[in-house]
Amino acid sequence: MKMIAAENITIASTGYAFANVDYFDYNNLRKNERSKNRIIIAKQTSPALTPFLLSAEGLLLQHGGVLSHAVIICRNIGIPCAVNVPPGLLTLCENRKVEIDGKNRTLRIYDLKE
């Protein structure tokens, strides 16, 4: 299994997650029900995202800061959250396992095709 370590990413909430990723679709909230036990990827946050965080393993955000609404929710429920993740890196996460380690402030992407 090959691994890519992401640099210059802000890990804004502690916790640990190692899971597949799923893009959050604001236009089709019913589709997001499959996000259970996965790391959610979103461009930005809105209140619509909050219920899905309760069953998610973690969150990767393209936009946001350490005091954004989603980060505060992630801290309260104990899941890791990375913010300001570049769009190219988010695309790279698709169809791969991702590890967010809030304690060590690391984000790793694993290529399962070996």
Residue 18's identity, in one-letter code, is F
What is the predicted pLDDT for the residue at 35?
A: 58
Confidence label for 93 from pLDDT (cuts 50, 70 and 90): confident
In DSSP terms, 40 is beta-bridged to: 22, 59
74 Cα distance to chain centroid: 10
Cα 49 to Cα 31: distance, rounded to the nearest angstrom: 12
* Highest mean pLDDT (candidates 7-11, 104-108, 110-114): 104-108
What is the predicted pLDDT for the residue at 24?
A: 77
Cα–Cα distances in angstroms (integers) from residue 83 to residues 11, 66, 100, in the given order: 6, 7, 11
In the chain, how many domains are there?
A: 1
Q: What is the pLDDT of residues 11-67, one digit of tens each?
A: 999 899 999 888 776 666 665 565 568 898 888 887 878 888 888 899 999 888 888
The pLDDT of residue 3 is above 80: no
What is the predicted pLDDT for the residue at 16?
A: 95
Q: What is the pLDDT of residues 69-92, one digit of tens each?
A: 888 999 999 999 999 888 878 787
CATH number at residue 78: 3.50.30.10
3-state secondary structure the chain: CEEEEECCCEEEECCEEEEEEEECCCCCHHHHHHHCCCEEEECCCCHHHHHHHCCCCEEEECCCCCCCHHHHHHHHHCCCEEECCCHHHHHHHCCCEEEEECCCCEEEEEECCC
Annotated catalytic residues are 69
- Range of 65's domain? 2-111
